[in-house]
A = this chain, B = another copy of it.
Amino acid sequence: MKTDPNLNHFMFEAIELSIRNVKEGKGGPFAAIVVKDGRVISRGTNLVTSTSDPTAHAEIVAIREACKVLKSFQLVGCELYTSCEPCPMCMGAIYWARPARVYFGSTRKDAAKIGFDDSFIYNELTKSISRRKIPLIQCMREEALAAFREWQQKDDKISY
């Protein structure tokens, strides 16, 4: 396999950022970088505790910033370098943002070993709704479908 000469450089920077993030007390030991055409578009680190935002994982922060820079809700042709395998929340964000590929360093199991819930959440999402740790209760489906009918009938909608 041919190795991209820039690969290690970007991953190295993501890892450096993840270490600095811990030292500076900004949040968990995670960082991510979005790259397009060999240029860094955005950098993100985990800011959950310093910003009181449970969604402020490194990948989410980097994706949101990259989309702001590109003025687009899609990361077409971009690559995401992240210091650790993305959790289900971040993987979901990746699928919605649709970058070309993702490089990661450590794994969900490595993260679980130091106390992060990534593996637990992956397991939860494979369970049927009735067996999840956080109860999920369905109600008013018929009424809720009215919004979907509204969406289907809308002529000038922007799909994503």
Query: Using a CB–CB distance below 8 Å, which chain A residues touch chain B?
Result: 7-8, 11-12, 15, 18-19, 21-23, 25, 27-31, 48-49, 52-55, 57, 60, 63-64, 67-68, 70-75, 83-85, 87-107, 110-111, 113-115, 117, 120-122, 124-126, 129, 134-141, 143-148, 150-152, 154, 156-160
Contact = CB atoms under 8 A, between A and B. Distances in A.
Contacts of A48: 73, 96, 160
A89 B54 CA distance: 12
B72 A95 contact: no
A73 B51 CA distance: 8
Contact of A137 (B97, B103, B110): B103
A151 B72 contact: no
B12 A140 contact: yes
Contact of A139 (B87, B105, B120): B105
B103 A139 contact: yes
Identical chains bound together, number: 2
A110 B100 CA distance: 28
A139 B84 CA distance: 10
Residue in A19, A68, A125, A147 with the greatest tally of chain B CB atoms within 10 Å: A147
Given A92-B88, A92-B92, A151-B22, A101 B139 contact: no
